[in-house]
Amino acid sequence: MDWKSLLAPGRTTAEGDPFVALRREMDRMLEQFGRGFGLPAMATTSTGFVSPRVNVAETEKGLEISAELPGFKPEEVSLDLEGDVLTLKAERRQEREEKEEEKRYHLIERMSGSYLRRFALPFAPQSDAVQARFDNGVLHVFLPRPPEAPKGASRIAIQAGG
């Protein structure tokens, strides 16, 4: 089958695969659609959650993660650490009600959103040593490396087979 026959005239394929081009076009359309509602451009996961944009930096002392969560309050954000997996979750629910008897209208608008991001960490940090602060819509998390066990050399005794 000629895949190029599936494309609109004048369109080219990405790496020769029309489905890659279709996926990119759909992502572009959804991003533009989200902007119309005042939502920040964020990636949507297959579970329907919106994934906040993050920066992850690894240093000698540990990991530094910053996540953009515009419009959220610190009490709407939660961080959970289970072993070597860090889960960032933010949920917001808003409801606005307008009512005017003279004009005979009643309006209730509800909005809710959930952001979710999980990080598989290269080490299991001590939960009591993790630091997090929320500053102007940006969450900053510092995960210090755990103290390593001493790497001293040891001699292993070899037994004779018998």
Which pLDDT belongs to residue 56? Answer: 93
Q: What's the pLDDT band for 44 if we cut at 50, 70, 90?
A: very low
Q: Which two tokens stand for residue 144?
A: 């210090």
Q: What's the pLDDT band for 50 if we cut at 50, 70, 90?
A: low
Q: Strand pairing partners for 45?
A: none
pLDDT in tens, 131-140: 999 998 899 9
Which pLDDT belongs to residue 114? Answer: 79
Q: Which fold has domain 48-144?
A: Immunoglobulin-like (2.60.40)
Which pLDDT belongs to residue 152? Answer: 56
Q: What's the pLDDT band for 69 if we cut at 50, 70, 90?
A: confident
Higher pLDDT, 139 or 104: 139
Full DSSP string of 53-118: PEEEEE-SSEEEEEEE-TT--GGGEEEEEETTEEEEEEEEEEEEEEEETTTTEEEEEEEEEEEEEE
Report the relative pairing of strands 43-44 and 50-51 from DSSP bridges: antiparallel
Higher pLDDT, 160 or 7: 160
Q: Domain ranges for the chain, please list them.
A: 1-39, 48-144
pLDDT in tens, 106-127: 777 776 777 888 999 988 888 8
Q: What's the pLDDT band for 83 if we cut at 50, 70, 90?
A: confident
Question: Mean pLDDT across the chain, nearest whole number?
Answer: 76
